Structure 1
Amino acid sequence: MFHKEGYKIIFIALVSFIAGIILLDKFIEIGWLKMTLQLALFLLLFMILQFFRNPKRVVALNESIIIAPVDGKVVVIEEVFEPEYFKDKRMQVSIFMSPINVHVTRYAMSGVIKYSKYHPGKYLVAWHPKASTENERTSVVIENSSFGEILYRQIAGALAKRIINYAQEGAQVVQGEDAGFIKFGSRVDLYLPLGTKIEVKLNQKAVGGKTIIAIK
C-alpha cells in the first residue's frame, strides 16, 4: 500500500524505469555496463517505492495516551519555551525520520484542531537546532479533555521540499489517522504540557501509531 501523495511520483518513476531499461537494452552493448545501469535504475525505483509506503496500522484509541505521530528515532526530550502558540514552557519530544522511514504523519491523539498554520522557510538538516523555527514547517494544535492542548510540528529537512498537512481548524480528528506527509527527510516535534509522563527515551525507535510517547 502506498500513500496517495506518492501516486504521481511513483507513476513517473515507473514510466522512467521502463523507458530506461528499454533504452539501455537497445543502445548499451557492453554487458557489465548495461547491467550496472539497470541495477542503478532498479535501486532508485525501489527507494521511491520504499519511501512512499503507507502501512495500515490498527490503533487502540485512548484519550489518556499520546502516540508517536511518525516512524523514526527520538532525538530530543527536553523542557523548552514554545514561542509560536503557547508562548510558555512545554515538554518537547522530537522524532527524526531518515529517508528510509515511513513518512506518513498520524494524529498523536484524538480531539479538535484548534490551530493549523504553514510556515515557508529554509531546508536545514532536520536535526539542526534552528530547524524548528527556520525550516519549512506546519504547526498544528489538537485539544481534548485529557491533555488539553498539544502541538505537533512537521519540519522539512535538507531533502524535503514539500509538507502535506491535512489538519483543518475546527475539525474533529481521530488518533492514529492520516494527518499528512513530508516528502524526503524530515522531523516532527511534539509539545506537551509540563508534567506529562514521557514514556520514551532518547535514541529509541518510534513506530507511528504504535509507540506510546506519553501518558496522562
Structure 2
Amino acid sequence: MAGEIYDNQGRGDAAWSWPPIHPEGRKFGLIAVAVSLFFLSPWIDIEIIGWPLLLLSLGVFAFFRDPERVVPQAENAIVAPADGLVSLITEVEPPEEMVADDGSGNPGLSPGPVTRISIFMSVFDVHINRAPVAGTIRRLVYIPGKFMNADLDKASEENERQHILIERGDGVAIAFTQIAGLVARRIVPFVKPGDTVAKGQRVGLIRFGSRVDVYLPAGTDPKVLIGQSVIAGETVLAELGTQGLIEGISQ
C-alpha cells in the first residue's frame, strides 16, 4: 500500500526498539546488577554505592548492545568494521604478520605502502566488529602488548591487538586490526581461520573502548574523512580500485 513504512525486514511499520544485548555482555550486566542489588538490600543498605552501581549496570548493557545493520551490497564496497570516529588516515607499511609467510600456503598482503584508516571507538560506541568485505578468513593473529590510549598512532604497533585477513572470492585480500585501548582489556574473536564470512557479518568485539585499523589495497583511496563518524557494516570506507581523494567541509 502506497505510503506505508517498512523496517529492513519488511515487518510493517518501522518503530524504535532497544537493540538486543550480545550474549558476550549479558553476564557482565547481570553481575553488575547483582552487586548493586546486594548493596541496596535491607541487610546492607549502602545506597551511596548501590544506586551508582545500578546505573553502571545499565551502562554495561548499553555497551554490549548489538543493533541490526543494513549492509551495502555493492560488490566493490569496503564497509566500516567498527562504529566510531575516523581518527587517522595515513600511508603505512602493512603489519608484518599480514605480509610474512605464515606457513599456511595462503598468501598475505603485498609489501609496500598502503592506506590505513583508523577508527576510534569510545565507550559509548557499539563495540561489535564486522567484516569489511565478504570472503574467507585466511589469518587471525593475536599479539599481546600494552594498553596505551588507542587514539595514539603508535598504538597500532605497541598495544595488544589482533590482525584479521579476509580473502575475497577474486583473490583480493583485506586486512584489519582490532586494537585494545586504555580501558579495553580483552579482544574477543567470533571467527577462526578457514571461516567464510559475509560482508557486515559480526566477527568479534573489543571490551570497553578501543580502535580498529583497516588496510586498503593498493589503488584504492578512502571515501571518508578524518573526524567523520562511521557505522559498522553500513558506512562505505572505500571502493576497490577507486582512486581520487575526496574533500569535505565540516558542518
TM superposition score normalised by structure 1: 0.90
CA contact (8 A) 2:78 2:238 kept: yes
| Equivalent of 2:32 in 13, 27, 42 | 13
Distance 1:27 1:37 in 2: 9
CA contact (8 A) 1:5 1:181 kept: no
Runs of 4+ in 1 over 4 A off after TM superposition: none
Within-5 A mapping of 1:119-138: 119-138=143-162
Q: What SS class does the counterpart of residue 194 from structure 1 fall into?
A: coil
Q: 1:26 to 1:17 in 2, by over 3 A?
A: closer
CA contact (8 A) 2:32 2:54 kept: no
Aligned to 1:193: 217
For these two proteins, the number of residue pairs brought into alignment is: 209
More helix by share: 1
Distance 2:95 2:64 in 1: 32
Q: What SS class does the counterpart of residue 65 from structure 2 fall into?
A: coil
More strand by share: 1
Within-5 A mapping of 1:201-212: 201-212=225-236
CA contact (8 A) 2:38 2:50 kept: no
| Equivalent of 1:175 in 199, 202, 220 | 199
Q: In terms of mean alpha carbon deviation, does 72-81 or 85-94 score higher? A: 85-94
Distance 1:197 1:128 in 2: 22
Establish whether residue 62 from structure 1 lines up as the match of residue 74 from structure 2. yes
Aligned to 2:83: 71
Please state how far the C-alpha of 1:166 moved relative to its aligned partner.
2.2
Please state how far the C-alpha of 1:170 moved relative to its aligned partner.
1.7
Establish whether residue 118 from structure 1 lines up as the match of residue 130 from structure 2. no
Distance 1:88 1:123 in 2: 28
CA contact (8 A) 1:64 1:146 kept: no
Aligned to 2:237: 213
Which one has more relative contact order, counting CA pairs under 8 Å at least 6 apart?
1
Please state how far the C-alpha of 1:144 moved relative to its aligned partner.
1.2
CA contact (8 A) 1:140 1:167 kept: no
Please state how far the C-alpha of 1:168 moved relative to its aligned partner.
1.5
Q: In terms of mean alpha carbon deviation, does 74-83 or 202-211 score higher? A: 74-83
Establish whether residue 164 from structure 1 lines up as the match of residue 162 from structure 2. no
Q: Percent identity?
A: 39
List alignment gaps of at least 5 residues for structure 1: 29-33
C-alpha RMSD of the superposition: 1.8
Within-5 A mapping of 1:135-150: 135-145=159-169, 148-150=172-174
Distance 2:134 2:117 in 1: 18
CA contact (8 A) 2:37 2:54 kept: no
CA contact (8 A) 2:150 2:210 kept: yes
Aligned to 1:90: 114
Distance 1:135 1:69 in 2: 19
Instruction: Give the residue type in structure 2 aligned to 1:8.
Output: K
Q: 1:26 to 1:169 in 2, by over 3 A?
A: closer
